[in-house]
Amino acid sequence: VEAILDAAELVIGEAGVEAATTNAIAERAGASVGSLYHFFPNKDAILQALTLRYAEAMRSVLRRELRMEEPWVPLEELFPQMINSFAALDHEYPGYMAVCRATDSASGGKSPISLQTEAYMQQLVRTLLLRRLPGIPEAEAMQHAVLSVVVVHATLDHIGSVPESDRAGLRAALVEMLVRYFTPIEAKYPRSAN
C-alpha cells in the first residue's frame, strides 16, 4: 500500500491528477494493476488515501512548529520556521497541492478531510494564542486562528503555482505579514513580567 501511495505521489507530482493513471501508478510502484486494484478500487480511492497521508503530515508539522511547550518564542522566529517547514513538506510530498485541489474539487468545495485538517489547525493555533496571550478572549483567539490558517493555506497554495525563483520572496512576505498581524495583538494582551 505504501509503495503504491509513494508511486502515486510521484506520478501526480510529475503529471498532475488528471494525467495520472492507475496503470502509470502501478508501473511506478513495480506492481501489477491487479495488485493496485486489490487495495484501491479506483484512482479516487488513491487520492483519498493520499489526502489522509498529507493531512497527518500537515498536522505533525504544525504540532511541532507551533512549539506549544514554549509559547513565548518570538514571532520573528516562530513564523519563519513554520512556513519553511510547510515549504519542506511540499518538497517531500510533490503531489500534495494537486491532490488537495482534486479532492476538494470533487467534493464541490472542501473535502471532509480538508475541513477536518483545517479545523484541527485552527484549534491548535487557538490553543497557542490562549497560552501565549493571557487575557485574550477565547472567541477572539478563535477568530485570529481561523483567519491565519485560511490565509496561510491560501498563500502557500498560490506559492506552489508560481516559478520556483519567486517562492522564497513570497514566503518571506507571508512571514512578514503574519508578524505584522500578530504583533499588535500581542501588545494588546502582554504577558506579565513575572
- pLDDT tens column, 81-132: 989 888 888 778 777 777 777 777 776 777 787 788 889 889 999 999 999 9
pTM confidence score: 0.78
Q: Supply the Cα-derived Rg of the chain in whole angstroms.
A: 19
- Cα atoms in the Cβ-side hemisphere of radius 13 Å centred on 2: 0
- From CA 175, how far away is CA 153, in angstroms rounded? 13
> Cell 493555533 appears where?
125
Per-residue pLDDT of the chain (194 residues; tens, 9 = 90+): 999 999 998 898 888 888 899 999 999 999 999 999 999 999 989 988 988 888 888 888 877 877 777 878 899 999 999 898 888 887 787 777 777 777 777 767 777 877 888 898 899 999 999 999 989 999 999 999 999 999 998 898 888 889 989 999 999 999 999 999 999 999 999 876 54
CB atoms within 10 A of CB 43: 18
